[in-house]
Amino acid sequence: MKLRPLADRVIVKRLENETKTASGIVIPDNAAEKPDQGEVLAVGPGKRDDDGDYIKMNVKVGDLVLFGKYSGQTVKVDGDELLVMKEDDLFAVVEK
């Protein structure tokens, strides 16, 4: 199934978090926190201004983004857990 977000919404897939610390300690799944970064899978057309024209989105498909721990709405699509959130919920794009 393909998702096409509406307005200024984006579809984000959380990045998998590390299960081991730098010193080699294994973190059990129930103690691990949800990661607060992910990859943008789809981007909506953007908000409309007062004239009805779209305002360009600041993120694009493939961007790595940072967001709040409780941001967005979780949905399951084809067995994958994805987040649907507004562009305003994103904090930053990770530059490489």
Tens of pLDDT, residues 26-36? 666 555 566 68
Q: Which is higher by pLDDT, 82 or 25?
A: 82
pLDDT at 16 (0 to 100) = 77
d(CA 57, CA 52): 15
pLDDT at 65 (0 to 100) = 96
Region 60-65 average pLDDT: 96
Residues 75, 84, 66, 62, Cα dihedral to 10°: 100
pLDDT at 23 (0 to 100) = 74
Q: Is the pLDDT of residue 15 over 90?
A: no
Considering the chain, what is the average pLDDT of its residues? 86
